Amino acid sequence: MERTEALEIVKKQITKHRYEHTLGVMETAISLAQQYGADEKKAELSAIFHDYAKFRPKDEMENIIVREKMPELLLKFNSELWHAPVGAFLVKTEVGIQDEEVLDAIKYHTSGRAQMTLLEKIIYLADYIEPGRHFPGVEEVRALAEKDLNEALIKAVQNTILFLMKKNQPVYPETFNTYNDLVIK
């Protein structure tokens, strides 16, 4: 699917602010793909659709998680986690994207997972460092991303975990798996 068609589709699903974020993720993902030797078209498509389900009603997402036999553990954690796996499902069923690498990059863009593919790492990181992001620590991760994809990713996951823990929020196990897998290797 071409960029213009994909952008038109996603634009109808999300707010103006989220669309601007999506464009930032797209540009960042393409540039990371060039830098680290990933497929640029797959990076572009994954980035465009990564937040496709961000504004779906919670009950719709919950129904999909149960019906499609996704991990029900998700339902015990922040609903912010749901749009990633539900998004991958809807991008497949509603938009017709079949590429499993692209679908997995969408599915794991919020939690990550152990043994992430290059494309998954790029989308996770692009989501974190796109130019519209302005939170403490983002500059450090941007600088790391210039030199070492894994080091940048470790810092991004670490920041996310610390941020959640400081607010006494639960941390989804897959997020810890992502961190441990990257640090142990």
Instruction: Please report, as ranges, the residues that interact with ligand DGI according to CB under 6 A.
Output: 51, 54, 77-78, 80-81, 84, 109-111, 127, 160, 164, 169-172, 175
Work out whether the CA dihedral 42, 48, 51, 55 comes out positive or negative: negative
CB environment 60-71: b (16+ within 10 A), e (fewer): ebbebbeeeebe
Integer Cα distance of 159 and 173 in angstroms: 15
Radius of gyration of the chain (CA): 15
Shortest-Cβ-distance residue relative to Fe ion: 127
Of ligand DGI, Fe ion, none, which one sits near residue 175, judging by CB under 5 to 8 A according to partner kind? ligand DGI
Report the amino acid identity of residue 84: A
> Which token pair is 114?
């152990």
Check binding of 104 to Fe ion (CB under 5 A).
no
Contact region with Fe ion (CB under 5 A), list: 29-37, 45-53, 132-140, 162-170? 45-53
Of Fe ion, ligand DGI, none, which one sits near residue 80, judging by CB under 5 to 8 A according to partner kind? ligand DGI
Of ligand DGI, Fe ion, none, which one sits near residue 42, judging by CB under 5 to 8 A according to partner kind? none
